[in-house]
């Protein structure tokens, strides 16, 4: 594996303030990555403990190195599988999506800038790669994914070219895919919305890692697993993700889920959290100057009642 783990934690001071770490508390970092947020949490603990989860073994190795000497338990899994099984926590953090390290490591295949096999798995022990999505999915399914997960307006065109191309031979490499995408977008629009392959790569990555499936449920069960007064902080990086977090928080906060047409409340729903952020927080001007990844970040915080 090439490169060192380089990733600047996004909105770190806002997250730490949001979590309001208690020195003897139990904290869960669902997406430890290189441990940028975790180290700040761990430093504030005395008798407390941190559980650090990631589905990427390279990330866990980097985090283990960085968090040496602190009371941390590492878990290699998708946080969606484990949140329900963990003890009651004082705080939970989810910093969703990919790390700069994953993007900047060419052989992981996340980047449209480097030539590599089509991989894009966060968990390299998982069976499905971008190669299977690109070469195995039907034209309709590819178009739908690119449209929904990447908001790619030329999704049909691109899907049709992919299918045409792979009839001759399978699409093996990232730059082959980039070239197909480029040729599918009319010249006039090709460079108008950033790199022409940016949206498709995002979409395929979301599909390969099933990033949105089960996220809503994980946020709900995570929040329910907090102690009274415990906090959940979630950073999302695109609108689909943020909408899921917003809706999960809204459901948790609401004290009635009866149909609007019902004259009286017949549900037993109680408000489970207090929203600390009515609107999501975004990165400061200062942070944006030094961390490009923070550009689309939205942080939402809720407190267990």
- Selected from 11, 51, 59, 206, the binder of ligand SAH by CB under 6 A is 59
To ligand SAH, the closest distance from the beta carbon of 261 in angstroms equals 37
Query: Is 222 an interacting residue with respect to ligand SAH (CB under 6 A)?
Result: no
Q: Which is nearer to ligand SAH, 95 or 242 (CB)?
A: 95
CB of 39 to ligand SAH, least distance (A): 8
Q: Which of residues 3-42 bind ligand SAH (CB under 6 A)?
A: 7, 9, 31, 33-37
How distant, in Å, are the alpha carbons of 65, 92, 216 from that of 72? Answer: 11, 14, 26
CB of 98 or CB of 220, closer to ligand SAH: 98
User: DSSP letters of the chain?
Assistant: --S----PPTTHHHHHHHHT--TT-EEEETT-TTSHHHHHHHHT-SS-EEEEEES-HHHHHHHHHHTTTS-EEEEES-HHHHGGGSPPEEEEEEE-S--HHHHH-GGG---SSS--BS---SSTTSS--HHHHHHHS-HHHHHHHHHHHH--TTHHHHHHHHHHHHHHS---BHHHHHHHHHHHS-HHHHTTTSSTTHHHHHHHHHHHTT-STTHHHHHHHHHHTEEEEEEEEEEE-SHHHHHHHHHHHHHHH-S--S-TT-SS--------EEES-SS-B---HHHHHH-GGGTT-EEEEEEE-
Least distance between ligand SAH and beta carbon 74 (Å): 12
Among 14, 50, 54, 129, binds ligand SAH (CB under 6 A): 54
Q: Which of 19, 53, 133, 248 binds ligand SAH (CB under 6 A)?
A: 53
Please tell me whether residue 78 binds ligand SAH under the rule CB under 6 A. yes
Residue 111 touching ligand SAH (CB under 6 A): no
In angstroms, give the least distance from the CB of 194 to ligand SAH: 21
Q: Taking CB under 6 A as the rule, does residue 99 contact ligand SAH?
A: yes
Please state, in angstroms and rounded to a whole number, the distance separating the CA atoms of residues 113 and 304.
42
- Using CB under 6 A as the binding rule, whether residue 95 contacts ligand SAH is answered as yes
Q: Which of 18, 27, 48, 56 binds ligand SAH (CB under 6 A)?
A: 56
Using rule CB under 6 A, residue 287 touches ligand SAH:
no
- Work out whether 91 is an interface residue with ligand SAH (CB under 6 A): no
Q: Which is nearer to ligand SAH, 28 or 146 (CB)?
A: 28
Q: Count residues binding ligand SAH (CB under 6 A).
A: 21
Give the residues lining the site for ligand SAH (CB under 6 A): 7, 9, 31, 33-37, 53-56, 59, 78-80, 95, 97-99, 122
């Amino acid at each position: 594996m090439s490169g060192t783990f380089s990733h600047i934690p996004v909105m770190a001071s806002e997250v730490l303030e949001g979590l309001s770490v208690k020195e003897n508390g139990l904290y869960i970092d669902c997406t430890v990555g290189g441990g940028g947020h975790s180290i700040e949490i761990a430093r504030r603990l005395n008798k407390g403990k941190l559980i650090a989860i990631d589905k990427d073994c390279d990330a866990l190795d980097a985090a283990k190195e960085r968090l040496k000497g602190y009371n941390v338990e590492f878990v290699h899994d998708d946080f969606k599988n484990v949140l329900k099984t963990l003890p009651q926590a004082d705080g939970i953090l989810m910093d969703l999506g990919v790390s700069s390290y994953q993007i900047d490591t060419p052989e992981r295949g996340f980047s449209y800038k480097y030539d590599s096999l089509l991989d894009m798995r966060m968990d390299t022990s998982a069976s499905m790669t971008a190669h299977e999505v690109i070469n195995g999915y039907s034209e309709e399914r590819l178009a739908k994914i690119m449209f929904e997960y990447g908001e790619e307006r030329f999704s049909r065109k691109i899907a049709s070219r992919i299918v045409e191309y792979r009839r001759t031979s399978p699409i093996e490499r990232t730059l082959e895919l980039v070239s197909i995408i480029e040729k599918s977008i009319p010249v006039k629009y090709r460079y108008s919305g950033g790199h022409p392959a940016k949206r498709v790569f995002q979409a395929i990555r979301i599909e390969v890692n099933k990033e949105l499936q089960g996220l809503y449920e994980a946020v709900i069960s995570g929040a329910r697993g907090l102690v009274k007064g415990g906090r959940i902080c979630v950073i999302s990086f695109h609108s689909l993700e943020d909408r899921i977090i917003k809706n999960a928080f809204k459901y948790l906060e609401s004290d009635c889920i009866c149909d609007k047409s019902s004259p009286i409340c017949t549900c037993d729903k109680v408000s489970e959290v207090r929203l600390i952020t009515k609107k999501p927080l975004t990165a400061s001007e200062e942070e944006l100057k030094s961390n490009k990844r923070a550009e689309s970040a939205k942080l939402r915080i809720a407190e267990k009642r």
